[in-house]
Structure 1
Amino acid sequence: MQLPRIAINNFQFTLVVLLLLILLGAVSLMTMPRSEDPQFDFPAAMVRVVYPGTNPVDMEKLVLDPIEEAIKELDDIKELKGDVEDGLAVIRVEFLFGSDPEEKYDDVVSEVARVREDLPDGIQFLSVEKISPADVNILQIALMSETASYHELKLQAEALEKKLERVSGVKRADVEALPEQQIHIRADLLKMQALNISLQDLLNAVRASSVNLPGGHALAGERRMTVRTSGDFRDLNQIRRTAVVSSPAKVIYVEDIAAVTQADALPSHEARYNGQRSVFVSVVQRKGSNIMAVLEGLDEVIDNFAPKLPQGMSLAYVHDQGISVDKRLSDFMNSLLLGLALVAGITLIALGLRSAFVIVIAIPMSVVIALGWVDLAGFGLQQMSIVGLVIALGLLVDNAIVVTENVGRFLRGGHDRQTAAMEGASQVGWAVSSGTLTTMLAFMPMLLLQTGAGTFVRSMPVTVVLTLLASLLIALSLTPLMASRFFPTNVKKEPKLLQWIEQLSQGPYARSLAGALGRPWLVLIISIAMFAGSLSLLPMVGVSMFPKADKPMVLVNIDAPENSSFEQTKSLALDVEDILSRYPQVVSVTTNIGKGNPRIFYNEIPKRQVPSYAQLLVQIESGDDIYRGDFVSSVREDFAAFPGAKVTVKELLQGPPYEAPISIRVLSDDLALLRSQAELVAKTMESIEGTVSVDNPLAHRKIDMHVNINREKAAMFGVPINAIDQAIRASLVGVNAGQFRDESGEDYPILVKSLGEAQPQVDDFENMMIRSTNGALVPLPQLASFELRDALARLQHHDTERMSRVTSDVSPGYQAEAVTNQLIVELESLEWPEGVSYQVGGEQEKRKESFGGMGQVVLVALMGIFAVLVLQFKSFTQPAIIFAAIPFAMTGSILALLFTGNTFSFTALVGLTSLVGIVVNNSIILVDYANQLRRGGHKLKDAVIEAAVTRLLPIILTTLTTIGGLLPLTLGNSSMWAPMGWSIIGGLVVSTVLTLFVVPVLYLLFTPKRG
């Protein structure tokens, strides 16, 4: 290995190169984007359609089916899901990972645009949104007032919205929970009946007068002038004085038969913050920006805006992601610094002050250089990249320890500093390089993981790989260079820990190893038995996906009976709000009636928007998982029998989104069979111990009023069927008749509807009149009868097939995997009619997808590491010997997870995958030195004993420093990262102990006596 010699002989050049790399890293560290979670695009889109007054079956036929038929023709679709409720359809399409998110989003937009003309004319709202984890509201502001009108709140909210959007790094700001402002023309049906005027007459008159048709242009000499015609209505009096019926005798104006007012639309989303009526202003950060810098700019705008609010209005922070980002990054940085201190302390005690200085100085240099490379790779500073640094912390000093210890050994052998540095570093150069490469290969295949979990954790392996690469560069250049300058020529006294380890290696370890080499097959049998025994403990450990998010907030969902009015749901939400506010742990309660809270967590996307639904965001005092779990259990008990509604509590989950921990998709195109079987599945799920908040969408029933049109009578009176439908819709929901533009340039839709209560009433049917083809008005009751019918409240599709998604949460102390497996056993014993099937979703589906990908990652990593070892040792036997450490790493991981009470989660599997590269390093060091001794003339047994005894010190030190670097993160009680830490620590301890005996035994048994 020539690099150490080049570095020492070219002192100035080496320093200049390293300083440039450190400078680049320092600049990147100051400017690189910061966020709470990884910011990445996701190949998925969501289509949302609002068509008021339409039942689920009609929404399915008129809206859902046409859009799904168009979208399903696209390539690379992974999953297509559709949900319909009264007046709402939501279609979510997810494409295969690796697809271009922008391209796929554009494809969905194009397909929806292509079928837009086939959709009903009365659609109030249609949007296509890109589902991106980065599009999370980093700030949610509540603009509160009990006295100001929504119009006044709108003016202030939109003024704040515009100011916030000007802040650098802001992608957009949105105003929510603000009812749409409309111009209402409320027709007096009785008066119109007396005057022989129909709703259609009124509608036609307003439409004809609100058409903004450009006049064109005309020439006046050589001048060209644009001709402006009547255009839109400019004030409400123009609407009032619009003629509906004109005759020589009299003119009937709009104001004669209707009231014209500017008013709020029917409520669809009303919000409150800590008991006060509110409007929300939320902010989305631009991808690649620094969240702390963005929030600093937003705070400045808000601080200047708040004092200027009118009397009676106030402003409050509902959600500030900067607080959790600052806490999370601080916690991780503290773990990093504590790990650094532990590593420094271990090396100081073991190797002395000068050696410790040479080793520890490599840590900040490697970290800074690596962060520069991470920034160039397009990743920011967030929890995943910092965890990557923490994992790499203990590993990056391994190289420096091996090099420094070998240089020290040469010094103790009587060589001068420069010779000891060059020869000591060169002797272990290839072993260090291949060891680093094998560790990097364990992480690199994770970059190819084409799953949601793989995308989420991608910045972690990138950070580890780049940090290890930087550490190798430092270990082979700066470390021997500093050793040649700082180490004493004569080592008079070794540190006590070093003396103790050397005594251990020369005494008890050497004797134990000799005994093991004398009974090699017994050692192998015992080791294999330990490995097999640990595998039998795996069911006791259990498996899981991602843990609950470490956030002091929960969501409380209220599902009122499907026929509940908006006001009834609001009343229920206020009761729930009042109960929650009594808990001493609660800091704030944000209430959303009719819709979910704006998106404040990367995998929690608001889905429902119906009058019978409400969602409360409850912020609680910071605490650990047990504290939050106790609160959630208490709230669930309080609302278990809440009168008038189903109240469920949902904790935020890490990782890719899924509907619920336990989810069963019951599929059938036969609606009756689907309903009965879904009900049976729900009852079975409720009978399983550990399930809570079981939900079956098809069990939600409602009462619809059906208008049975007598077609014979309609034909007799000369009334078209579509005229009846349009008259009913105009009377109940209202029909758009044009646009009104006020003095400030704001546009408002003009709605023609019946006069009466603020909300449509059943009695309105009695007064509806329909214009026949001969001009006569016919009362609606003469043409139709009315009856109440039981109807579906919701319908769902999965890959265009009808479905009912039966879901359940998991009680504290239960594992979703175990409960799901028990449920599957029960489902298999049920009778499934022909044409009905089921699929398992939820956590188990996502876990299998992610774990299956990780299995491929481990296989690729093993193949890559084996190939590198074959190239290094020019043998197939010795790489196989080195691989013996890997099964024992699994043994240690299983035992550590079992004793600490953690499940085998995705992050624990990441830790096990990391071990594949970490644990082989010790074996590489041992086998490589044994080969060198044999080439020097040692006999096989003598060579393996001397190699094991000599390399015991660096093996113990590298193991201790790796554990020391991980301990602060592992002991931080993070449900996300503690399993990974324990997995690595347990695997490293057990594999190190067994490697010190098993690898020499295998080397003795399977290495040829000569060669």
Structure 2
Amino acid sequence: DAGKVLVGDEYLRIQPTGEFQSVSLIGDVLISSSDKTLVYLKDIAQIRREYKEVPDLLIYYEGKPALTLGISMQSGENVVAVGRNLLQRMQEISALIPIGMKLDIIYNQPAEVENSVSGFMLNLVAAIVIVIIVLLLFMGVTAGLIIGAVLLITVAGTLLIMELYGIDLQRISLGALIIALGMLVDNAIVIAEGMMVRIQSGMNAAKAAKDVVGKNSIALLGGTIVGILAFSAIGLSQDSTGEFSRTLFYVILISLLLSWITAVSTTPLLCALFIKAKKNAGSEQDPQDAYSGFVFMLYRGFLKKALHFRGLTMAVIVALFAIAVYGFGFVRGGFFPDSNTPMFFVEVWEIEGTDIHKTRDDTLKISEYIRSLPGVTKTTELIGGGDQRFSLVYEPKERSPAYAQIIVQTETREQIAEIWEKADAYMKGFVNIEPIIKPLRIGPGRDSKIEARISGPDGAVLRQLSEQAKEIFRNNAGTKEIRDDWRQPVKLVKPIFNEQVGRQLGINYEDLSKALKYAFDGTQVGLYRDGIRLLPIFSRAIDEEREDISNIQDIQVWSPVLQQGIPIAQVVKRFETVWENTVIRGRDRRQTIIPSCNPETGVDSTALFERLRPQIEAMELPPGYQLAWGGEYEDSTLASNSLASALPGGFLLMILTTILLFGKVRQPLIIWLTVPLAVIGITAGLLGLNGAFDFMGLLGALSLIGLLIKNAIVLIEEIDQQIEEGIESFKAILDSAVSRMRPVMMAAATTILGMIPLLSDVFFVNMSIIIMSGLAFASVLTLIVVPVLYSMFFKVKYREEV
């Protein structure tokens, strides 16, 4: 750039000749020698074009050098359609690829999304089929088909509204539909069952519809609102977990409101059209006659005994509750589950300061072994840094020559555990590496499940505290991948500058540094334009001098006083080798070091954390130093706190809804007293099926609360209505419970069986276990405990003759 000059009203750019047209022409540059003669640069230097000596990042695909290209989708586009267009374009340009090169896909998110959505659609269809089959078996063909039709209308309406509001079909939204299936048919079951009983007993269809909808619509609406509010904490949560799973709340909100609308409109219409009175039904019969079957009478007799011995009944329930609370302490904890994509990562950490070529060689050896294992389809090796962010939950590491990552892809997810174990055992033979093997996460999380965060002013003291913490980790069984984020100190060569001699020779510290840099790394002296690229021009010593550190004393530094170069040994007292921290991290503007570890395979991270926590917190910290916990504990705490901040509002609205429904206090109190008892079913299910109470499990527990309260509302509302109609209280309790048995059991059965497809999904499995096992016991709570509590709160006397 030679500048610009104003000529009249124009600026003209100035560009002299002399630009190099090729690298070889650089050698024709004339320079002045010490005897004032001109010589060509090529006569005193070798000029060549080559790659950077120490690369920042090396990429290999299945052990061969590679380049990667990351493609991001524009907002609002269909990822599956974009993926198909990309594949088509790749086929079109395949003929342009040079011989000896090939184009492969490392990670195909559109294909993963398509497979995931297709699998979930199959699960959704399977769940709907299961629900309809259950309805046909227990409600009869006509009523079963009616409720099934209403279910399909509700699901179709939900999908339409999702499309209108831009809610995509993905894992969370489709999972929410499966979770909601049982709740969607609940309202329709109550209406259909009530109308079926009345119509078959001889009541006019219009009167039956008016009677059933009039009695149940408000109670069902209240129960539906409570069910929605149970999920409100997800919709109101403002952290990353809430953002990740927020569509769950929206889908539940849309589908449940639609289910109530179709239950009080479409269901009565279809029942009136298709349910006919029994041929032997003359005048109107007592609807209670429909509950004279064996199962109903068996339940009636059992409930009557429970009401007779109500004190003993509640004592058994309280004892079971106490056992469940104690047993819950043995349930595995967790945060977010891993992805079901057949992929995992092997991170190779060499000793800090290791040459990137040594890191590459070790990484390629490990990768070659992994590819030889059965089930491995391909590997991608990245040396010096991580890959491009191909997934929202993938977090690339910062560049480091001591770091490498191997992306391992397998045929199936089930093969990962065995390959993981063999790879871990093989890497134990590399004494200088610290490997981490980690799965592809499906939600928020970190590489290390247990992190102790220590902050303070002095780096040396922080190092000592970190070593104490790591020693505690090592001394506890079940820990692995013990490290800290400052890594190891690195050796540093420190020439001690003789300032007195240097001043006499006109040499300062900067001159010494430049001479050393020229001798080893090289000094940039210009730029060479190669088309659209600017290549740096470096001047440096010959390879023989640069590769032997013993030559360091003979490196020449220019003395302005002597007007010649002198060995740096004349201005350096001695050379010292010291240690330095090349990685110093901070948090909140304070130096912070994080010693961390992971649990061994099969070891519960929560239990291990609870064992390590008191030992780490017992460490004596100097004044000005602080300890805080990170890792899975911090993530789950933040998520729980975010939910907890939203839960009080949701629970308050749920309580107010139940109070407004009844206009009294005792009925809502009965309902809320049964809520904690759901832990009995939750504990039994998690311990029996080796589930974990993770974040999704917490959401399952919240949904279970909504289901339990909804069933209890409908039952208590029926009891109150019968008492208001003049039926004796004890008989009203028995008759109401018997009339509600089939809707409650049907809703439970459809929900439980409809969630069977989710048991195979790693993301929803714990939520499914909690809802299925909890709801099974919640049905008992509704049908046994609620009537018993009602009789105790309202002092209803036992009557043998009823």
Q: Aligned partners of 2:291 and 2:246: how far apart in 1?
A: 39
Partner secondary structure for residue 433 of structure 1 = helix
- Residue in structure 2 matched with residue 980 of structure 1 by the alignment: 767
Once the two structures are TM-superposed, the CA of residue 254 in structure 1 deviates from its matched residue by 4.0
- Offset from partner CA, 1:219-260 (integer Å, 9 cap, x none): 4xxx84733323894523564444544999643454444444
Once the two structures are TM-superposed, the CA of residue 699 in structure 1 deviates from its matched residue by 6.0
Retained in 2: the 8 A contact 1:505–1:952?
no
Letter paired with 1:578: E
Q: Aligned partners of 2:121 and 2:280: how far apart in 1?
A: 38
Partner secondary structure for residue 67 of structure 2 = strand
- Residue in structure 1 matched with residue 114 of structure 2 by the alignment: 326
Is 1:346 matched up with 2:134?
yes
Letter paired with 1:227: R
Is 1:746 matched up with 2:533?
yes
In terms of mean alpha carbon deviation, does 361-370 or 831-840 score higher?
831-840
Retained in 2: the 8 A contact 1:417–1:489?
no
Q: Aligned partners of 1:484 and 1:738: how far apart in 2?
A: 90
Is 1:507 matched up with 2:297?
yes
Q: Match for 1:587 among 377, 398, 402?
A: 377
Is 1:710 matched up with 2:487?
no
- Residue in structure 2 matched with residue 942 of structure 1 by the alignment: 731
Once the two structures are TM-superposed, the CA of residue 859 in structure 1 deviates from its matched residue by 3.6
Matches within 5 A, 1:682-721: 682-698=470-486, 700-721=488-509
Once the two structures are TM-superposed, the CA of residue 787 in structure 1 deviates from its matched residue by 2.8
Is 1:283 matched up with 2:71?
yes
- Residue in structure 2 matched with residue 473 of structure 1 by the alignment: 261
Once the two structures are TM-superposed, the CA of residue 408 in structure 1 deviates from its matched residue by 1.2
Matches within 5 A, 1:250-265: 250-265=37-52
Q: Aligned partners of 2:547 and 2:391: how far apart in 1?
A: 37
Matches within 5 A, 1:539-554: 539-554=329-344
Letter paired with 1:814: V
In terms of mean alpha carbon deviation, does 566-575 or 341-350 score higher?
566-575
Letter paired with 1:927: I
Q: Aligned partners of 1:667 and 1:521: how far apart in 2?
A: 57
Is 1:899 matched up with 2:685?
no
Partner secondary structure for residue 556 of structure 1 = strand
Retained in 1: the 8 A contact 2:291–2:739?
no
Partner secondary structure for residue 262 of structure 1 = coil
In terms of mean alpha carbon deviation, does 420-429 or 898-907 score higher?
420-429
Matches within 5 A, 1:618-657: 618-624=408-414, 627-657=415-445
- Residue in structure 1 matched with residue 667 of structure 2 by the alignment: 878
Is 1:816 matched up with 2:605?
yes
Matches within 5 A, 1:792-941: 792-941=581-730
Once the two structures are TM-superposed, the CA of residue 370 in structure 1 deviates from its matched residue by 1.8
Letter paired with 1:700: Q
Matches within 5 A, 1:304-383: 304-383=92-171
- Offset from partner CA, 1:267-288 (integer Å, 9 cap, x none): 1211111121111112222333
Retained in 1: the 8 A contact 2:376–2:410?
yes
Q: Match for 1:1006 among 790, 793, 798?
A: 793
Compared with structure 1, are the counterparts of its residues 726 and 381 closer, same or farther at alpha carbon in structure 2 (3 Å cutoff)? farther
- Residue in structure 2 matched with residue 218 of structure 1 by the alignment: 7
Q: Match for 1:461 among 233, 249, 266?
A: 249
- Offset from partner CA, 1:627-655 (integer Å, 9 cap, x none): 42232122212222324433332223343
Is 1:603 matched up with 2:386?
no
Letter paired with 1:914: S
Letter paired with 1:663: E
Letter paired with 1:710: N
Identical-residue share of aligned pairs (%) = 25
Once the two structures are TM-superposed, the CA of residue 616 in structure 1 deviates from its matched residue by 1.1
- Residue in structure 1 matched with residue 407 of structure 2 by the alignment: 617
Name stretches of at least 5 consecutive residues in structure 2 with no aligned partner: 282-287, 798-802
Partner secondary structure for residue 361 of structure 1 = helix
Once the two structures are TM-superposed, the CA of residue 578 in structure 1 deviates from its matched residue by 2.3
Structure-2-length-normalised TM-score:
0.92
Retained in 1: the 8 A contact 2:232–2:647?
no
- Offset from partner CA, 1:357-383 (integer Å, 9 cap, x none): 221122232223223333444432211
Q: Aligned partners of 2:373 and 2:792: how far apart in 1?
A: 67
Partner secondary structure for residue 374 of structure 1 = helix
- Residue in structure 1 matched with residue 455 of structure 2 by the alignment: 667
Retained in 2: the 8 A contact 1:559–1:614?
yes
Once the two structures are TM-superposed, the CA of residue 681 in structure 1 deviates from its matched residue by 1.2
Once the two structures are TM-superposed, the CA of residue 696 in structure 1 deviates from its matched residue by 3.1
- Residue in structure 2 matched with residue 531 of structure 1 by the alignment: 321
Partner secondary structure for residue 590 of structure 1 = strand
Structure-1-length-normalised TM-score:
0.74
Q: Aligned partners of 1:507 and 1:442: how far apart in 2?
A: 34
Retained in 2: the 8 A contact 1:572–1:644?
no
Q: Say what the alpha-carbon RMSD is for the aligned residues.
A: 2.7
Q: Aligned partners of 1:938 and 1:486: how far apart in 2?
A: 32
Aligned length: 787
- Residue in structure 2 matched with residue 558 of structure 1 by the alignment: 348
Q: Aligned partners of 2:365 and 2:451: how far apart in 1?
A: 30
- Offset from partner CA, 1:83-108 (integer Å, 9 cap, x none): xxxxxxxxxxxxxxxxxxxxxxxxxx
Once the two structures are TM-superposed, the CA of residue 819 in structure 1 deviates from its matched residue by 0.7
Once the two structures are TM-superposed, the CA of residue 293 in structure 1 deviates from its matched residue by 0.7
- Offset from partner CA, 1:892-938 (integer Å, 9 cap, x none): 11111111011211111110011111111111111111111122111
- Residue in structure 1 matched with residue 14 of structure 2 by the alignment: 228
Retained in 1: the 8 A contact 2:520–2:541?
yes
- Offset from partner CA, 1:163-194 (integer Å, 9 cap, x none): xxxxxxxxxxxxxxxxxxxxxxxxxxxxxxxx
Retained in 2: the 8 A contact 1:587–1:620?
yes
Retained in 2: the 8 A contact 1:407–1:483?
yes
Compared with structure 1, are the counterparts of its residues 793 and 525 closer, same or farther at alpha carbon in structure 2 (3 Å cutoff)? same
Once the two structures are TM-superposed, the CA of residue 1004 in structure 1 deviates from its matched residue by 2.0
- Residue in structure 1 matched with residue 758 of structure 2 by the alignment: 969
Once the two structures are TM-superposed, the CA of residue 789 in structure 1 deviates from its matched residue by 2.1
- Residue in structure 2 matched with residue 779 of structure 1 by the alignment: 567
Once the two structures are TM-superposed, the CA of residue 336 in structure 1 deviates from its matched residue by 0.9
Q: Match for 1:994 among 781, 792, 799?
A: 781
Letter paired with 2:16: S
Retained in 1: the 8 A contact 2:450–2:597?
yes
Is 1:756 matched up with 2:543?
yes
Once the two structures are TM-superposed, the CA of residue 551 in structure 1 deviates from its matched residue by 2.6
- Offset from partner CA, 1:389-441 (integer Å, 9 cap, x none): 11111211111111111221221232333333343323211111111111001
Retained in 1: the 8 A contact 2:545–2:551?
no
In terms of mean alpha carbon deviation, does 698-707 or 892-901 score higher?
698-707
Compared with structure 1, are the counterparts of its residues 500 and 725 closer, same or farther at alpha carbon in structure 2 (3 Å cutoff)? farther
Q: Aligned partners of 1:569 and 1:1009: how far apart in 2?
A: 79
Retained in 2: the 8 A contact 1:703–1:790?
yes
Once the two structures are TM-superposed, the CA of residue 533 in structure 1 deviates from its matched residue by 1.5
Compared with structure 1, are the counterparts of its residues 500 and 480 closer, same or farther at alpha carbon in structure 2 (3 Å cutoff)? closer
Once the two structures are TM-superposed, the CA of residue 491 in structure 1 deviates from its matched residue by 6.5
